Structure 1
Amino acid sequence: MNSLGTDGGGAAHNAAYNTVSGDAVIVGPVLMAQHIEGLRMPDRAPDAPPSQGPPPSRVFVNRTKELAGLRDAAVALAGEPEPGMLLVVGVGGVGKTALVAQSVRRELKELFPQGQLYVDLEDLRRDGVVDLAAVLGRFLRALGVSKDYVPAGLAECTALFRSVAAGKRLLVMVDNAQHAPEARALVPPQGLLVVIARRALPSLLMDGAVLIGVDPLDEAAGTELVRRWHADADEGTAADVVRLCAGHPLALRAAVEWLAARPHLTLDDVVRDLTAAGRSGAGDDGVREERAAVMGASGGPQEDGGGVGEAVDAVLDSVVAEVSEHTRKLYELLGVLPGTTATTDLLRATGAVRVDEALGELVSSRLAVLVESPDRPRRCRLHDVARSHARLRARALAESGRRSVLRLAVDFYRDAAAHADALVFGDRFRIQPPPSRPLSQLSVKEPLFVGRSDALDWLDAERVNLEYVVRTAAEHEWYEDVWRLCESLWALYHSRKHLADCVATGRLGIEAARHEARPDVEIRMRNQVARAAYELGDLDHADAELAAAADLLGPAAEPRLNGVVWETRGLIALAREQPDEARELFERALEANRAVPDPHGVVVQSYNVGQALVAGGRWTAALDVLDAAADVARATGDAPMLPRIGLVRARALAGLGELDRAVAAAVAAADGAAEIGQLAKFDQALALLASLAERAEEEPLRAAYVEKLRALRRSMGLKPPADGTG
């Protein structure tokens, strides 16, 4: 039997070691078990059920029928073993979300105490398409799954969501849904899905969804609401306001908020302003056509109806005309900016003044909303009804003014993304120069991010906005900004596995490089796309990109560009189980990095050579290469590479049959990974240790490692398989 201890006599078994590291010999199962108990485990995720969604309004009138419909349908569906579905439909700003929030507070929260999840799909929609994997990733993190375990692909995210949510009666609220498939993908295994949309989605109704219609308020309900807000209002005047606002709650709220900020005026002044606005715009076919064009350009549905839409526009025109000048400029600025959300730092960078005051006025006027987000700083966006109105107003601005705002936004994101990339990947090889501004100049109150993890979270939170910015730069032919953004975004795409995004933006990066006649940049862009395709399993696409990049290697002076292409080719060869070809390619990449020299590149390519040698069964040669790589990594402070090298060393030692040393290397890799928060590598190390113990026929040790692995998975919010090793 192979033993994890020595096979000598009593002297060896009486030896004592205080630590286990490097190639120290582990003496006996008892000592090994003691070290198992000492392995550092990450903190367990909070076990509180999520309670997401916008807060309910304190002032809520009428909607008795709709609330009863929501309650009765939810009660009936809550008792079913299969998940239920409600479809809440009404024009934009009519109060659908407020209705659902009120229902959650009154009844639904008690029906679904194991968690309420909420997403506004407008925050993640680009070109009419929602990144559903990102939505499910948010849900998984809210359910306690560590971000290190959230997969990139939609299928994997869906499978994990169904596993983690199994047995939980969840309430999932999906706001601003436009198409049935995007809502259907978010149905929990048990519980209730509430879909909020501007129009009925027939296929959801065919799936059994219960329809709850939300109409504009009638005169009686609207009048009651206005008089709740403005107690001394004359009933007839309040009814006039309701009529002029077409019973639209958002328009009513905006009108009364406008009045509340001007105590010297009366409700009659509101009526006069709205009447004048209606006369000036209601009959203007050009305005209606422009409004429809803006709604279409923003990806929003166009089911608001002419009368309601014109009434809302009239109210918004009146409100915006009376706010402070800096607030009006901020409103129009939000209509120009690319993306879906904005931070105060971005707003200041693009020319806004008195930002906190102006944003507060927009929020209090119900024109802007604060976006629920775990990241900092807080984000805001215009209400979806106000967004089309702001974009319409922005179109009236001078082209030079709009272009200047976009130029400033691109500059801000280009520099911020470059700083984030530098924190995530350190001294990796980059073609672009350092950012023109220090990180401290990009924010006022606190840094945008501090440290690697914070920088990566910022990139992830800004992902949709960054992709809009890349496209905006491409549309304005700011080609250098396009490829610089794409190069920086590799830190996000590689780390969080947003691989499809990498392919999409990478195509723009390739075109930008070609416009600038930069073969070095094109090689880099094509290699990034190839790496994404490789990780997506599309090896033929990766090969095609690399072939196009190889044709450009001659004019490119930087030797590391040869190295990155050879490295990706080597990874593809490994995936195709061609270890000898992979080794030759990695060795060429290694020599390219030595020629610079690039210490990190030397470590990475040595690690790759070691992987190829292990795959080819050349254990001793692999150890020589990996030991040298570890020495360089320690000398240069390249700590993230050490656990990766240790895991491959452990496999090489196991291949030689030296199980004691293999276990020691795997333990050192586990400790190193835990220390720097590489949870995926920690997970791999535990699985490898369990496998090594099983091979040595040390069942107690195998069981101990399996239990550690199960504990890790549980602490990360996962449900491990029955055997704990999957």
Structure 2
Amino acid sequence: MTDGDRTVNTVSGTVHGMVVQAGTVVMAASGLAVPRQIRGPRRAFVNREGEFARLEAALGRLDDVRPAVVAFTGLGGVGKTELVAQFAARSAAHFPGGQLYADLAAHRHLGGADLGEVLGGFLRGFGLPYVPDTLAERAAAFRTVTAAGRRVLVFLDNVEHAAEVRALLPTTGLLVAAGRRRLPGLALDGAELVRLDPLTTGAGSELVRGWLGPGRGTDAELARLVEFCGGLPLALNAVGFRLLDREDLRVDRVLAELTDKERRLSSLSNEEGAVGDVLDAVHRRLPEHTRAFYRLLGVNPGPLVSVELAEAVGVPRAADGLADLRSAHLVDDVAQEGPERRYRAHDLVRLHAAGTVRELPGRLELLARIVAYYRGRAALADRAIGDRFRLQESGAGQGLAGFGSGADALEWLQSERANLLGAVRAAAEQRRHGEVWRLCESLWPLYHGRKHYGDWVESHLLGIEAAQWDNRPDAVIRMRNQLGRAYYERGEYPLAGEQLAAAAALLPEVDEPRLAGVLWETDGLLCLADGRPERAVELFTLAREANAGDPHGVVVQSYNLAQALVAAGRAEEALAVLGEATALAGREGDAPMLMRLPLVEARAERALHRPAAAVGAAELSAGRARELGQPRKEEAARALLVDLAQELGDTALAERNRARLRELRGR
């Protein structure tokens, strides 16, 4: 509600406990979801009682004033992640606010981790109906939802710098960090630093004996096996798979194979050496179709693989090969929603797999097929999400599986985000310039809808360079405009303006008027943000004219124009523009815009002090958003309805929309 020149958020009814504000949405903290993001533990686990004692001691230091921090460091494959998974399962009752997980390796861009993305994932885990756009706002919201009474366990994997931990501390609870590098800077903050060593010979032998049973292999042979594996659980798992897969395979035979490569086995202290020796032996024993899938792990530019990807690039018997790799613990399931399962290989497994294909004659051809798959599937997803002006040809993705709905397509883009960025990088390295900018163009709905700014900026810097090498000034304009939108949404308006100016200089070289229209659109948004609505009206008018003949483009620019007119105090004119745009969208069956237009209409009616009419328009927008599976748009409409209900004094309307907001948040 408004109070003079101030905007005041209020919560009606009785609230027990904290109230959380995220952007313009206010809700009771008691309604937050309880995230369970840390994966479940495995059954076989030994000899970590000392480390568990450290973690249990940290539980005794928990209070409602500050968080406790424990940092584990050690070699890759030593079992840091499994240790924390075991602890999370045992200590769930100590953390009523839930468990949060982030692999910082998946959030690194140009050497640094995008902490805003991590915080966004945490806040979505709590079910916040609105996630703020800026890092500072996300950090503030995270501190609020983890305050007293909502103690949480936060697990950060693959940490490289102490500053990453400091930026992600909850208000109360326990943060456990894991990484390969020592983090002495955290000791200055009161954190407990623990080095996680490989398993002792006795503990490793106990682990293997538990798999094989009492009658297979002598104690001395098992001890020697553990020594050759360097005590790394990852290496022991791989060897254990071989022994369990072949009951006739003797332990001494495996030992003989491992001793064949004395030079590499002599470097057990080297992180790659011990695992490489074991994986070499495992790889030799894999069936050929499983080796083909293993090679895919080494060539794929991203961390995730799926059966669909493998089949699309020609891996034979992909499902069987994946099953073999899963049994050997060479890949793990990734916790996710949706029917298409994805799997992640340990970093050292990917490193070894890359070594097996480094000299393979067909490696670059396989990489080209992988990039083509991601480019084609992303193009299909982009088109499934909605109709818009595109430069690339319409035939991309032929022969690949399509999407049942725009919502399904957006979830696929989100799930494949790390792979898609990896594909952009790989295509740029291989100078496949056309693939780079076309893939970037198709990623617009992902980056614009989910706000992955780190990916957005990095990929489009590569996209600009690729389009220049491809001698496509039209694509350069498109890439610079999309990059400018990223800067605009991050509030970096001067950088956005620089991209627009560089793009506008190329307009004389192209014949497509809609390219000028997209630049005027972004410039208009900058004017709105800068408090110049009348100039925004002029620019959106030009953009609409540039889209003449493109019904969707005309509707989009009418939508923008109406927003500018409302901001300029010309709400009646905005309603006239919206009426024409709605009629055109109806004739064209433009469902996404028929969802968005009524929301601006509601704001115009509100500006004209006609709250009842505003309620009708906002309810129409919310209903259509629900039908289209667009929760963010529905949340915006429901939030406006709550405000309107408060102005009208309509308690039933307010509660009905609050209930729906809670339902959306729960999802």
What TM-score, normalized to structure 1?
A: 0.81
Identity over aligned residues, as a percent? 47
Query: Hey, what's the Cα distance between the residues in 2 that align with 1:98 and 1:188?
Result: 22
Distance 1:504 1:97, change over 3 A: closer
- Structure 1 stretch displaced more, 238-247 or 479-488: 238-247
Deviations 1:68-101 (A, max 9, x none): 2322332x12356421111122211122222222
State the partner residue of 1:715: 663
State the partner residue of 1:33: none
Q: CA deviation at 1:707?
A: 4.0
1:189 aligns with 2:136: no
Partner of 2:91, secondary structure, is: helix
Deviations 1:536-556 (A, max 9, x none): 222222222112222221221
Query: Hey, what's the Cα distance between the residues in 1 that align with 2:154 and 2:476?
Result: 43
Q: Structure 2 unaligned segments of length 5 or more: list them.
A: 1-29
State the partner residue of 2:7: none
State the partner residue of 2:564: 612
Query: Hey, what's the Cα distance between the residues in 2 that align with 1:138 and 1:690?
Result: 26
Alignment of 1:43-192 (within 5 A): 49-74=34-59, 76-79=60-63, 81-105=65-89, 107-146=90-129, 149-166=130-147, 167-192=149-174
Alignment of 1:85-484 (within 5 A): 85-105=69-89, 107-146=90-129, 149-166=130-147, 167-230=149-212, 231-232=214-215, 233-277=217-261, 279-282=262-265, 305-306=269-270, 309-398=272-361, 401-425=362-386, 427-438=387-398, 441-443=399-401, 449-484=403-438
Query: Hey, what's the Cα distance between the residues in 2 that align with 1:593 and 1:689?
Result: 32
State the partner residue of 2:6: none
**Structure 2 contact 235–279 (Cα < 8 Å) conserved:** yes
Distance 1:692 1:347, change over 3 A: closer
**Structure 1 contact 84–191 (Cα < 8 Å) conserved:** yes
Query: Hey, what's the Cα distance between the residues in 1 that align with 2:580 and 2:314?
Result: 52
State the partner residue of 2:3: none
**Structure having the higher Rg:** 1
Query: Hey, what's the Cα distance between the residues in 2 that align with 1:358 and 1:690?
Result: 53
- Structure 1 stretch displaced more, 409-418 or 616-625: 616-625
Deviations 1:623-664 (A, max 9, x none): 222211111112211232234332333443444455554444
1:528 partner amino acid? Q
Query: Hey, what's the Cα distance between the residues in 1 that align with 2:33 and 2:638?
Result: 27
Query: Hey, what's the Cα distance between the residues in 1 that align with 2:118 and 2:339?
Result: 18
Distance 1:79 1:530, change over 3 A: closer
Alignment of 1:501-650 (within 5 A): 501-594=455-548, 597-650=549-602
Partner of 2:375, secondary structure, is: helix
Deviations 1:589-637 (A, max 9, x none): 111212xx11111111122222222222233332222211111112211
Query: Hey, what's the Cα distance between the residues in 2 that align with 1:507 and 1:224?
Result: 52
**Larger RCO, structures 1/2 (Cα 8 Å, 6+ apart):** 1
Q: CA deviation at 1:704?
A: 4.9
- Structure 1 stretch displaced more, 481-490 or 94-103: 94-103
1:618 partner amino acid? R
Deviations 1:195-247 (A, max 9, x none): 12223211222212223332122222223233222222212222221222222
2:364 partner amino acid? R
**Structure 2 contact 242–282 (Cα < 8 Å) conserved:** yes
Deviations 1:129-168 (A, max 9, x none): 333333333333332335xx23444333323333333331
Query: Hey, what's the Cα distance between the residues in 2 that align with 1:664 and 1:60?
Result: 59
State the partner residue of 1:297: none
1:600 partner amino acid? H
- Structure 1 stretch displaced more, 679-688 or 209-218: 679-688
Deviations 1:306-364 (A, max 9, x none): 3x642322111111111212222322221111011111111222231111221222222
Query: Hey, what's the Cα distance between the residues in 1 that align with 2:656 and 2:143?
Result: 24
Q: Structure 1 unaligned segments of length 5 or more: list them.
A: 1-44, 289-303, 719-726
**Structure 1 contact 375–461 (Cα < 8 Å) conserved:** no
Q: CA deviation at 1:580?
A: 2.5
Q: CA deviation at 1:404?
A: 0.5
**Structure 2 contact 159–179 (Cα < 8 Å) conserved:** yes
**Structure 1 contact 599–632 (Cα < 8 Å) conserved:** yes
- Structure 1 stretch displaced more, 488-497 or 57-66: 57-66
Query: Hey, what's the Cα distance between the residues in 2 that align with 1:328 and 1:681?
Result: 46
Partner of 1:195, secondary structure, is: strand
Query: Hey, what's the Cα distance between the residues in 1 that align with 2:315 and 2:459?
Result: 29
**Structure 1 contact 174–195 (Cα < 8 Å) conserved:** yes
Q: CA deviation at 1:187?
A: 2.3
**Structure 1 contact 683–709 (Cα < 8 Å) conserved:** no
Query: Hey, what's the Cα distance between the residues in 2 that align with 1:473 and 1:365?
Result: 31
Deviations 1:454-484 (A, max 9, x none): 1111111111211111111111111111111
2:459 partner amino acid? T
- Structure 1 stretch displaced more, 606-615 or 201-210: 606-615
Distance 1:280 1:321, change over 3 A: farther
- Structure 1 stretch displaced more, 484-493 or 611-620: 611-620
Distance 1:545 1:199, change over 3 A: closer
**Structure 2 contact 641–657 (Cα < 8 Å) conserved:** no
RMSD over equivalenced CA pairs, Å: 2.6
State the partner residue of 2:10: none
- Structure 1 stretch displaced more, 131-140 or 83-92: 131-140
Q: CA deviation at 1:407?
A: 0.4
Distance 1:688 1:64, change over 3 A: closer
**Structure 2 contact 96–150 (Cα < 8 Å) conserved:** no
1:155 partner amino acid? A
Distance 1:690 1:62, change over 3 A: closer
- Structure 1 stretch displaced more, 530-539 or 707-716: 707-716
Partner of 1:78, secondary structure, is: coil
Distance 1:54 1:673, change over 3 A: closer
2:446 to 492, 502, 513: 492
**Structure 1 contact 123–341 (Cα < 8 Å) conserved:** no
What TM-score, normalized to structure 2?
A: 0.88
**Structure 1 contact 145–717 (Cα < 8 Å) conserved:** yes
Partner of 2:302, secondary structure, is: coil
Partner of 2:494, secondary structure, is: helix
Distance 1:324 1:129, change over 3 A: farther
Partner of 2:591, secondary structure, is: coil
2:34 partner amino acid? P
Query: Hey, what's the Cα distance between the residues in 1 that align with 2:657 and 2:611?
Result: 20
**Structure 2 contact 73–80 (Cα < 8 Å) conserved:** yes
